[in-house]
């Protein structure tokens, strides 16, 4: 019985340590990087760099302004959003591909980095998803469908939740 109690206390201590110390550090780094990205895109507008006034740059800047909600969006919400609004997410992903495919390299890299950072924040808010996602990411090496699902869920983390979403 003492072993079970000890294991419970150690797991509880680890869980609370994560939520109180580790998670805030991760989310602070995400917010800092989003702020830096937003500043660099705004600076590109000021410096009038190539394609700074393009649709891709404007869309990137608009999504970076939404980035302040990183503390409240979990991976579970992205999965539910992807499940209930699959056609909208696929259409949004296709539109993203069309918009950013012809954009300059600095915009494409910033957009890709924004998606990675959004996934990082969603995963920091959802530690119970880590083991199933490890299996899914391993499967995505061998399965194009699993890789596509991962990319669509990544797109769902960079969008606003619709009002009718059951999350």
Distance CA 36, CA 16 (A): 30
pLDDT at 25: 93
pLDDT at 161: 52
pLDDT at 165: 53
Does 7 have pLDDT greater than 90? Answer: yes
**In the chain, beta strands by DSSP E:** none
Q: What is the mean pLDDT of the chain?
A: 85
**Which DSSP string do the residues of 125-137 spell out, in sequence order?**
T-GGGHHHHHHHH
Distance CA 96, CA 151 (A): 12
pLDDT at 23: 92
């Amino acid at each position: 019985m003492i072993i079970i109690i000890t294991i419970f206390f150690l797991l509880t201590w680890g869980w609370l340590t994560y939520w109180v110390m580790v998670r805030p550090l991760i989310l602070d780094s995400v917010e800092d990087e989003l702020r830096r990205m937003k500043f660099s895109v705004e600076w590109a507008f000021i410096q009038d760099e190539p394609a700074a006034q393009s649709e891709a740059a404007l869309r990137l800047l608009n999504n970076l302004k939404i980035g302040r909600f990183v503390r409240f969006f979990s991976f579970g919400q992205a999965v539910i959003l992807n499940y209930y609004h699959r056609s909208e997410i696929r259409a949004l992903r296709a539109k993203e591909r069309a918009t950013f495919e012809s954009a300059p390299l600095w915009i494409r890299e910033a957009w890709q980095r924004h998606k990675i950072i959004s996934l990082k924040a969603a995963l920091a808010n959802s530690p119970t998803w880590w083991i199933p996602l490890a299996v899914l990411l391993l499967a995505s090496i061998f399965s194009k469908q699993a890789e596509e699902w991962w990319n669509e869920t990544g797109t769902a983390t960079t969008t606003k939740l619709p009002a009718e979403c059951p999350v």
